[in-house]
Amino acid sequence: MKLFNPFATLPTYNPIALLSITGIITHPNFKLSDTPDLSGKVAVVTGGQAGIGREITAQLLLHGITKVYILARTESKYNDAKEEWAGKNGLKKDDVETRTEFVQCDLSSIKDVSRAANELLSKLDRLDILINNAALPTIPDYILSPDGIETIFATNHVGHFTLTNILLPLIERAAASAGDARIVNTTSSLHMSCQELDLSQLTSPTRTKYPASFDSSWRYGRSKLANILFTRDLAHRLQKKGIANVYVNCFFPGNIPTDAMDTWKQLFGKVVGKLFKGIFQVIGQSPTDGAATAMFLATSKDVETGDVKGKYFVPIASENKTSPIAEDKDLAKNLWYWTDHQVTEVLGKGWQDVGEHVDTRGAGAEQGDAQ
């Protein structure tokens, strides 16, 4: 039996560097006040109604974004978020109603992601910013998605892979007309908990690690590793296509005590779970800290001038190292082929080309509606 080595995937043994990688020590390299004016731009944010996504959406609105489409499973949290954006952030309620729109989407279902993506294709002819932020947290139960893929992986990786590829023609079109476009993927320092990515295990009917608390955390880390591999391979593929002005990067928002941390109570018991969350309320980051890195990657001119692509960032807007396995180009390529095969099994051949053949509304009409 292969023994688990908790240090095998660390990119460094330097304790100060590790504290930075895990977000305990932060380097403030970007301020939200440095965000440029986003007037005329259109964004899609998955999970933009809750957690760090709610703050990212708030910052997009505060900096003049013309329209934000928020993809999530249920509309109730979106309605709650609208009240918060209009109250806490000083935005007008009518303005929030006009500049945001909810699109129902279950990221664990390939068919539902395709339906939501096609709904967006019918509304837009360009997309400036795509932030793949939504994530299923650590859950104790082992469940397969509607397509027979482990649910955390299906939601956090496969759903975003499908959405991004269908919307890619809109993103490329925005880059051609506006000069650049951005794809930002939310990942985690917990990717370092995954020392291997056995693609055959992703459709296993039962868990492969024990105990359940370790298995759940490991499965979450596995999905976050996939986010990084996807980021790097997509950046490479766009470069090969000759598309130099679509900037794809990923980031760890930090140790933010959101509702997602409440799942730790199920994994480790109420006392331990509450203790962990309490610790991060003291030493962790705030939602605005987490949003700052996302806003840097989604909007800052420094990304363009520095030709920043396929990189991993930690709080706040600091490029950093990943685990060695997250830099494996062959693994990234194999993951792409595996994921594409899973989606093809559900949607059929040519699924990723649908955006190139859809008659879409003019961007001017969409922006006029938003104003």
> So which residues are the catalytic ones?
220
With CA atoms as reference, report the closest residue to 197 among 2, 1, 328, 7. Answer: 328
Longest CA span, the chain: 62
The token pair at 288 is 């605005």
The token pair at 305 is 């001038």
The token pair at 20 is 């930075």
The token pair at 17 is 């560097």
CA angle 266–271–272, rounded 5-degree value: 70
With CA atoms as reference, report the closest residue to 113 among 83, 154, 148. Answer: 154
HSE value, Cβ hemisphere, 13 Å, CA-based, for 131? 34
DSSP 37: P
Residue 234 three-state SS:
helix
DSSP bridge partners of 67 = 42
What does DSSP say about strands 67-72 and 42-46: parallel, antiparallel, or unpaired? parallel
The token pair at 272 is 């331990």
> CB within 8 A of 15, min separation 6: which ones?
none
